A and B are shown apart, each in its own frame.
Chain A
Amino acid sequence: MAEGARTIRFTLNGRQVAAEIGTHETLVEILQQRFDLFGARESCGQGLCGCCTVIVDGAAVSGCLYLAAFADGAAVETIEHLGDGGTLDPLQEAFIETGAFQCGFCTPGMILMARQLLDEQPEPSDDDIRHYMSGNLCRCGAYPEIIAAVKLAARKRKGAASG
């Protein structure tokens, strides 16, 4: 293990885990190389595209900039946690139903960010969605479908809550 190595312990998708890490390693690297979780992925490497979005203690972070060492003691959630019991999250369903992805590379980040939006604002307007999601890029240009998916998911969540 390289200089500056340390052990971190954290909750990953509801499970207690530990990892030997270097202090220079990012959260995305650790998730991929130590835990085989590839849903958060590095693209721009500058925290500008949202492909590496991970939820740390309930807040979305750019996993390509977030040092793994900071996750010590935290609760980390990745896209793989959604729907891992077999039932998809309403957002995941809505993305499929509205065709809100093409290549799929940005999709996990989009879904995690949209879930945070719906947690804060259960019935967002188009403008709310554009504003909140503006840190997530989709080069395939599925933006109109993503906006439709977030609104559909909002209705699904509302239906589930009242039903």
Chain B
Amino acid sequence: MTKPLQRGQVGRSARRLEGRAKVTGRAEYVHNLRLPGMLYGKIFRSTVAHGRIRRIDVRAAQAMAGVERVVTGEDLHAVIPNPYYGPAFHDQPILALEKVRYAGEPVAVVLAADPHVAEEAAQLITAEYDELPAVFDEVEAASSAAIVHEVLKPAGIFPDLKHLEGRKNTNVALDFHLRRGDVEAGFAAADRIFEHSFRTQQVMHTPLEPMVSVADAGASAITIHTASQSPSFVRIEIARLLGWPENRVRVKVPYLGGGFGAKLYIKLEALVAALSLLVRRPVKVALTMEEQFFTITKHAATLRIKSGVAADGRIVARRCDVWWNGGAYADVGPRVTQKSGFTAAGPYDIENVHIESYAVYTNLPPAGALRGFGIPQLVWAYESHTDLIARALGLDPLEFRRKNILREGRPQATGTIMRDAAIEAVLDRLAQRMKWREPFDRGSGTLRRGRGLGIGFKASIAPTTSVAIITIAADGSCVLYSSTVDMGQGSDTAMAQIAAEVLDLPAEAIRVVHPDTDVTPYDMATLGSRSTYHMGNAVKRAAEDARDKLAALAAELGLPPGSNLPWPELFRRKYGMQAGNIVGVGSFIPSYASPDHDTGLTANATPFWMIGGAGAEVEIDTETGAVRVTKLVNVADAGTPINPAIVETQLSGGAIMQLGFTLSEEMQFRDGQLTNASLADYKIPGFHDLPTAMESAAVEAQEHGGPFGAKGVGESGTFGVSPAIANAIDDAVGVRLSALPLTAEAVWRALGEKRGEA
């Protein structure tokens, strides 16, 4: 059903529906929840990176006054026979069994009514391990004799992982290959060959609300209150672990204090469920900020990229080899490996492409999705590489990109034709906002200035399903039931605007019910910038269904088509009083074709493309290496925004987060031991780290498959930031950094090497 934009609910910068609750401190988070009789769990963690568990001594902890129970992995078998979970592999034990695979892995839990008692008792637990050889580097791990998992155990959900079932003596949890054209022939025919290697560091999402879950188990049903981005997945996975039908597992999610991909799939939910079943009391586990570093992180990666360039400046062949450091458990790493593998060669029109992308187990904290599903790591590599080529050829980096960019209607590396992908428009707007063609002050003395660009793109995760329900009460008021989680991105407001547009109501009049799997229908998860497109379409269909049913009711009552009798009057005439409901239902799953296993090619890789570009101006102090970002411009293709103000804050928020991953954040390990697991030693951006000037904008665009022309934007702001800054540093002082983060020390050392002082 198509309808022109006319009512004005979509496309306006409506204020967030939950604004008042958030500014008065009254918004509901799982942290606020206390249940009668509730116990608090505190986790005892592994001190070694890889080892067989010889003995866990819980006697002193168990003997402490106020301790209800101490639970180890073996105890969980009583309630969950096979306590391994995971979205791609069933490889992660709820508490360590037989082996520990990283320093910081949960080994035991103390339960007590007083969290201070639980914490103190957890410190009385001791464990002995027979240490095993450990491996930390992703490239080394791909061929190491140190094996993290003896046998690979794919979850069976994804067809491209089935061939890994039962595989032994390997740390490679997925190998994705893409072959387009003949890359060797392309290199042979090229005028120049360029080859570079890049690395990205392991970082952490750092949501300010640390992960927290509460379980309340009865004899035949369990309720889990959790700060989760994926309530439907939690329900299905807990039901699988317990061997129960889905309808005995209820998962409720209020607001989240940030997610960014950290709070996906199973994190604490299986643990609290098992504990609550064991002790038959409600159990809450709330992590500290420190513990979050041992729970889920963003993949470190090694990326090698080789390009053949023709004499006319066209890139004719590109090979990319990417190793993703997945840590000790796969989490969603194999998805990151495959989905990002689609676009590892960048938003360029290249005839011959060869991509190898490996998910690799190591003995580090697990890695999963973080605002981009691997894309920011790839863009870091290919946009640094692109800039290096342009410099070597003496071409303007903007013009070199323009010459090679993927244009509408052209096939991307997978063979999928680019549609509704405003790559060129994003590049043009970036150049305009950066005043790229105007003279630029390059600084002098010990303060040198430079500027750089970076542009990336992403295939949305597919295929995934969203379902929405809209009810109209007999007084005409409207409720939207959706399992999309509002973790700060403003989905409540955007979804209400979509429903309001169809139903001709003010968005503010619609009540949005938060995820409760007893009430709200299935949604794959709030991840990968998928909600606006997928849930947005489902909400639109549910609203249209409700509208059609209202029209049918009017017809049934003998009213002429187009009658504008108020809805309450319709109900009164039908039911004789204020009674009854209209229930509209909508579901959405886009079409998708799995890539061929051997070639990685597919005619339909994604329902929509996300495009994000950044331009940076920097000022470098050549005496200290300090990098100051004086200007940061972010431009994205968000389709036609549902709420322009929220889109802009998503872009600038994403870019600021990526600034941290670019300039300061890095999890530092020594022999597998994390040495900076606190905000004192792990620096996330604050007010002083903001660029002096910052601009964010969405280009005029339309996504034909999206609700009212919209598409997702939660990750686009992160794509171009890191390479734009590295390219600007090179532009300013002539040194090239190939590893993140771009710290003052790294710049200072590179300047020293350039002067021959290394």
Binding site for B on A (CB under 8 A): 2, 22, 24, 32-33, 37-41, 43-46, 48-49, 51, 78-80, 82-84, 88, 91-92, 95-97, 99, 101-108, 111, 129-131, 133-134, 136-145, 147
B25–A39 contact, CB under 8 A? yes
Partner of A141, one of B205, B209, B289, B654: B654
Interfacial chain A residues near B490, Cβ < 8 Å? 102
Q: How far is the CA of A145 from the CA of B346 in the complex (A)?
A: 32
Q: B310 at the A/B interface (Cβ < 8 Å)?
A: no
Q: How far is the CB of A93 from chain B (nearest CB, A)?
A: 8
Stretch in B254-262, B516-524, B740-748 touching the partner: B254-262
Given contacts A45-B288, A99-B16, A140-B488, 19 further A-B contacts (CB under 8 A): A43-B257, A49-B208, A88-B20, A95-B23, A96-B20, A96-B23, A99-B646, A103-B208, A103-B256, A104-B255, A105-B29, A130-B687, A134-B687, A137-B686, A139-B684, A141-B656, A142-B649, A143-B687, A145-B649
Q: How far is the CA of A77 from the CA of B229 in the complex (A)?
A: 33
The contact sample of 23 A-B pairs, CB cut-off 8 A, is A32-B32, A38-B31, A40-B25, A44-B679, A45-B289, A46-B680, A48-B680, A79-B25, A84-B24, A101-B16, A102-B488, A102-B653, A103-B209, A103-B257, A104-B27, A104-B257, A130-B690, A134-B687, A137-B684, A139-B206, A139-B684, A143-B687, A144-B694
Partner of B258, one of A40, A45, A92, A139: A139
Q: How far is the CA of A137 from the CA of B683 in the complex (A)?
A: 11
Q: How far is the CB of A3 from chain B (nearest CB, A)?
A: 11
Q: B210 at the A/B interface (Cβ < 8 Å)?
A: yes
B209–A111 contact, CB under 8 A? no
Interfacial chain B residues near A82, Cβ < 8 Å? 24
B488–A104 contact, CB under 8 A? yes
Q: B495 at the A/B interface (Cβ < 8 Å)?
A: no
Q: How far is the CA of A82 from the CA of B20 in the complex (A)?
A: 11
Q: B411 at the A/B interface (Cβ < 8 Å)?
A: no
Q: How far is the CA of A141 from the CA of B258 in the complex (A)?
A: 11
Interfacial chain B residues near A145, Cβ < 8 Å? 649
Chain B window 633-669, contacts with chain A (Cβ cutoff 8 Å), 1 for yes, 0 for no = 0000000000001100100111111000000000000
Interfacial chain B residues near A136, Cβ < 8 Å? 686-687
Interface of A is mostly: loop
Count of CB-CB pairs between chains A and B under 8 Å: 161
Interfacial chain A residues near B260, Cβ < 8 Å? 139
Q: B678 at the A/B interface (Cβ < 8 Å)?
A: yes
Q: How far is the CA of A22 from the CA of B120 in the complex (A)?
A: 15
Given A103-B256, A104-B255, are A96 and B686 also a contact pair (CB < 8 Å)? no
Which chain A residue lies CB-closest to B646?
Answer: A99
Q: B463 at the A/B interface (Cβ < 8 Å)?
A: no
Q: How far is the CB of B563 from chain A (nearest CB, A)?
A: 38
Q: How far is the CB of B629 from chain A (nearest CB, A)?
A: 13
Interfacial chain A residues near B686, Cβ < 8 Å? 134, 136-137, 143
Which chain A residue lies CB-closest to B687?
Answer: A130
Partner of B487, one of A22, A103, A130, A134: A103
Q: How far is the CB of B12 from chain A (nearest CB, A)?
A: 13
B679–A38 contact, CB under 8 A? no
Q: How far is the CA of A61 from the CA of B690 in the complex (A)?
A: 25
B653–A142 contact, CB under 8 A? yes
A104–B22 contact, CB under 8 A? yes
Q: B321 at the A/B interface (Cβ < 8 Å)?
A: no
Q: How far is the CA of A2 from the CA of B112 in the complex (A)?
A: 14
Interfacial chain B residues near A103, Cβ < 8 Å? 207-209, 255-259, 487-488
B688–A44 contact, CB under 8 A? no
